[in-house]
Structure 1
């Protein structure tokens, strides 16, 4: 053991000692890129004080180690021609060995991955240390799952690109990366998995059939990476985001990746919790062969395909609870759902599509929200994220498509099939409606104008419904005919969320917005107790729609059975469509003819009595 005494010349009390194993003692000349002593005010020196290794420092310690067989005269002047040392300089760099990491060891057998598999199964021991899941899991492998693994194998492992896997939270990026890490041939590669949890890094080191796990902070990452004694090493960083603290993490990984002190083949891939890395240098991208891979949000068809396996469905069934969640359902809503199931089996598996589509209203494109959290938990998370938006109109896309803020948990990401680029809608219908409720028409108009080039039919439908209720809450709704003339204005009114019949005001109308989002009929109801007038509204962006009279009748029957025994004096049923679709809109067919006879509607005349009108949308009909 060597006791190395260090001192700042001329400064009293600056002497300190460091105990170092003689075989590990490394001294380097603090000679900067200009060939002079490193100033203590240079960025490289300041980074040292913060515990960071600047690229210039890395260059210094990549040079020849100062050996004890030569004199200081030789190292300082004969060989390096350095000027006389003075104050405010750093002259010698000492690499102090880091304490050994406290690893926990276990057996890790090779994981069998087949690109043709539709499902993969894990045991608790497989996934516990990766920061992904805490129990036995059967995972559905959608096509993008296999594409991500192909990217990491072909582009990162074989073609030596530095990979960035991008996408919103809840797309399955981490699970696919975990499968890849477990399946890599560990007779050829050591695998380091780094899971980011704030400033703490959970590390898994797999070599051969051994797995070692431990926890460190970012400051110790350099020592960890340099201590890996392997010919070939693959590092996967899971949970990277574009923040200052994690910028240190990215920089540390690149220093390891470029260091000549670490021999052998090295590979590096970041599994990102964002859909964009932000702005970056083209030269930097080219020099380090950086390549991005985008993972899209989940579609309804992918969810439906996933739950066709009974074992998988039973695993996630406790989370498909939107039909029984008190936060989102009233007793009336639950009764309506039971009525819808009467002709179906009582086996939840036979009702799987219904259960999933109901949860889809809240979870949208996030499989994490769909399969890992209850509906109440999803609602709390989304509401918290909505409250954190500083400005609904400019919070996300104002910095451009390369902004690191472009997608968070409120947004999905889909590939555009009609143009170059991506579609970035809000993650779910619930999110869209909540944002609409919390803001006025002008702000929400600007907010969604940014998405005009990304609008798809489902997203446009959400926006039309939002525009309807926003207008009713803020100034009233203008109604148009086929000639684009304003023919009516529905005045600003109170809007109540309910699947039943709420308390009705004695004077003036009350608008009712159903909580049950996927029922087959009306989207809004206006009741005026004073005039006994009922207006039932179906809102649609489609060019054609069915008229399911039984749903309208069911609610009217509940109204007549209230304690007030409400007697409908006049019934109006209105289909409200986007103004630009009004001329081509048709009602394709009607079911339940004759049910409205008690309300003055003759059988088989129902379609002709429906009023069809237009309204402004949030994008195409607004001019900025």
Structure 2
């Protein structure tokens, strides 16, 4: 086809799915390159690949064909939400956003009601994350097993953050990795919250500490994700924290982390101290609930790397109701967990739902004063 192309006729060739380690792919690319150079003014070639690095870069050859490299970044949640506002597009992908048996397998309660477009996107984003192919072209019932298969082949969280992928990688990570731009630079991270959580469960605490030190300075999103992963790993062993206004360290006893759907509640509370980790993306306000049944104490924890965070009290009240925590005899605390450098400057932002915790001893309008600020150290940072 290329050999029969007429001179001076404009042509545009797209080589999709290129794999550098396949010899016939390389041969075809060489043919495309020769075709391009025969009439540089009227011909263009685009090579698209999600699996192969370029290999050794030859500046002279790149200049000869005026090569331009473009990295297609992963989708963000806000971009998904914007896309489904277009009715024609939404009707084509709506069937891929429906809940199925995969929801129950990750701890989510299923509800027999019609969800909004926003809710559907937020729920599937927990699994699919930055992969628009998983979001719009693959049902959740297939996304989870495919991710689980990739996770079995790659349990190395550091490979994800380093961006080591393609045929040069010793492990299959392409289904697990996402790329986002921040300040003009590419940043690699787990494709979704589900993948990040599973990978973090498989590594040791010192690995998360090292990753935070190495990659936590990249951007707020990466730093926040690693800080949250570190917290849930550390709380299992016990942690030392410092409350604002105190010079003394307070010790938190280690406890197991149990995932649960805050929207669905729990039939019975754990018999011993436990850290409840909500998995429902539609739940907001906090990241963890430390339940101490013997002491009748509940501590909500919001883990944040930011210098300001909102305080949405309605979520806390709903969680207490869902857990069956009575107002009488129980102590309810709220802790904003920040990095040491944020301890003194962090502030609570907009407060909504004032009065939601009145029956638990929280005076309406004074919630911001009663909430506590604390920090935990991440060694090596």
1:125-136 mapped onto 2 (5 Å cutoff): none
Residues 484 and 378 (structure 1 numbering): CA distance in 2 closer, same or farther, change over 3 Å?
Answer: farther
- Distance across 2 between alignment mates of 1:293 and 1:453: 24
Aligned residue among 442, 458, 461 for 2:224: 461
Q: Is the 8 A contact 1:393 1:446 kept in 2?
A: no
Residues 530 and 252 of structure 1: CA distance in aligned 2, closer, same or farther (over 3 Å): same
User: Where does residue 491 of structure 1 map in the other structure?
Assistant: 253
Contact 1:570 1:599 in 2 (8 A): yes
1:533 and 2:297 are equivalent in the alignment? yes
2:124 to 359, 363, 367: 359
Matches for 1:223-262 after TM superposition, within 5 Å? 229-231=4-6, 235-242=13-20, 244=21, 246-255=22-31, 257-258=33-34
Could you give the per-residue CA deviations for residues 572-608 of structure 1, whole angstroms, max 9, x where no partner exists? 2212122222222222243333332332333333222
Q: Distance in 2 between matches of 1:263 and 1:580?
A: 59
Deviations 1:277-326 (A, max 9, x none): 23323344345543322222223332222212212112211222359833
Whether 1:413 aligns to 2:179 is yes
Alpha-carbon spacing, 1:290–1:588, altered in 2? closer, same or farther (3 Å): closer
Alignment of 1:400-549 (within 5 A): 404-405=168-169, 408-417=174-183, 420-455=184-219, 457-473=220-236, 475-482=237-244, 485=247, 487-499=249-261, 500-501=265-266, 503-506=268-271, 508-549=272-313
**For the aligned residues, what is the CA RMSD?**
3.5
Aligned length: 370
SS in 2 for 1:512: strand
Question: Corresponding residue for 2:339?
Answer: 578
The 1:301–1:557 alpha-carbon spacing in structure 2 relative to 1, beyond 3 Å, is: closer
Report deviation, 1:439: 1.4
The answer (yes or no) to whether the contact 2:210–2:380 under 8 Å persists in 1 is no
Change (3 A) 1:266 1:361: same
Q: Is the 8 A contact 2:84 2:117 kept in 1?
A: yes
Would the alpha carbon gap of residues 278 and 503 (structure 1) be closer, same or farther in structure 2, given more than 3 Å must change? farther
Distance between the aligned counterparts of 1:280 and 1:407, measured in 2? 23
Note closer, same or farther for the CA distance 1:478–1:403 as it changes in structure 2 (3 Å cut): farther
Gaps of 5+ in 1: 1-189, 191-224, 339-345
Q: Could you tell me which residue of structure 2 aligns to residue 301 of structure 1? A: 78
Deviation at 1:276, TM superposition (A): 3.6
Q: 8 Å contact 1:478–1:486 — kept in the other structure?
A: no
Residues 511 and 396 of structure 1: CA distance in aligned 2, closer, same or farther (over 3 Å)? closer
* Alpha-carbon offset, residue 509 of structure 1: 0.5
TM-score, length-scaled by structure 2: 0.83
Report if the CA contact (8 A) 1:572-1:610 is conserved: yes
In 1, are the aligned partners of 2:155 and 2:202 still within 8 Å (CA)?
Answer: no
**What is the alpha-carbon distance in structure 1 between the residues aligned to residue 23 and residue 157 of structure 2?**
27
Check 1:250–1:538 CA distance in 2 against 1; reply closer, same or farther (3 A cut).
same
Return the structure number with greater relative CO, CA threshold 8 A, min gap 6. Answer: 2
Q: Is the 8 A contact 1:441 1:467 kept in 2?
A: yes
Name the CA distance, whole Å, in 2 between partners of 1:435 and 1:592: 35
SS at match of 2:235: helix
Q: Could you tell me how far apart the structure 1 residues matched to 2:217 and 2:311 are?
A: 31
